Amino acid sequence: MSLCIFHHPLYSALVLPARHRFPLAKYQALFEQLGNLGYPLAEAAPASRAQIERVHDAAYVEAALAGTLDAGAIRQLGFPWSPVLIERTLRSVGATLAASRHALVQGCGLQISGGYHHAHRDFGSGFCLFNDLVIAAQTCLDEGRCEQVLIVDLDVHQGDGSAALCQGRRDIITLSLHGEHNFPRHKPASHMDFPLPSGMEDDAYLTTLAEALNLALRLYTPDLILYQAGVDVHHADELGYLSLSNEGVRQRDAMVFDCAQRHGLPIAAVPGGGYRRDWQQLIPLHMSLFEEAHRRYG
């Protein structure tokens, strides 16, 4: 087995308005730190329009790519439209797909961006234009690489787009642990939802996660796990209402990788959300994902 981490320079190249909430610079910082530590890094091909339209409405995809989304759609997305936004998004979706394909052969793949779980079939939301997790799952299914994918979403915000896109399906299963009172206001039903009370700390969270993973693997038989590892569960996150410590975030990541290994399941992982004005504080939290993967698959 060998680990590979996918990245593209455009991840941090998007120009955002002053004081925008999204900590875009973290991706380049992660790339540099991983490179300095000798981690295996690679670029992936962009996702194709055909792959995206297997999941998203064709008219929405056309408007997004052409820059003709209306003002309300742009406001809901949370990013200004630009050609760089499109290229960055296609590269990031492609990287999640590449990480998934790599995992199916080598056991584990990661990428430095990704986790666009608020993107719905015909609209974007919460900084998410196209849903890379569902697109990667759908493409791997279409290619005959797997038969059932489990999306394990541990971002503090429920993956409402993933839930809505996969409702009623048996080939893509959605599992979400999220803050009960956090964004999004309307939370479509995942296959398995675990809404968590504000202020939940390490022990209660990790106990719940262990129960959730055990239940998922009793009810379903996935042959690929896609892991959304948002660090906005941390107690200092400015948009999260949970209270995990640094060590709690690391133990969470370790638990998911250990579960995958115990059940012999390939796993692809993306770092997901994390929100602080002092974005440098996010780097060690995100690094736990790559360090725990490297410890097991490097």
CATH number of domain containing 253:
3.40.800.20
pLDDT in tens, 260-295: 999 999 999 999 999 999 999 999 999 999 999 999
- Cα–Cα distances in angstroms (integers) from residue 94 to residues 48, 55, 215, in the given order: 8, 14, 30
Residue labelled with tokens 């941390």: 234
What are the helix (H) ranges across 183-265? 202-219, 246-262
What is the mean pLDDT, run by run of 10 residues, along the chain of 298 residues? 92 90 94 97 97 98 98 96 97 98 98 98 97 98 98 98 98 98 93 97 98 98 98 95 97 98 98 94 97 96
pLDDT in tens, 44-75: 999 999 999 999 999 999 999 999 999 999 99
Structural domain tally of the chain? 1
Alpha-carbon gap, residue 244 to 98, rounded angstroms: 30
Q: Nearest-CA neighbor of 80 among 93, 62, 67?
A: 67
Q: Would you say the C-alpha torsion 225, 223, 256, 258 has a positive or negative sign? A: negative
Percentage helix, strand, coil for the chain under 3-state DSSP, each rounded to 5: 45, 15, 40
Contact 201, 181 (CB under 8 A): no
Domain of 237, in residue numbers: 2-295
117-128 CB burial, b ≥16 within 10 A, e <16: bbbbeebbbbbb
Kind plus residue range of the DSSP H or E element containing 153: strand 149-153
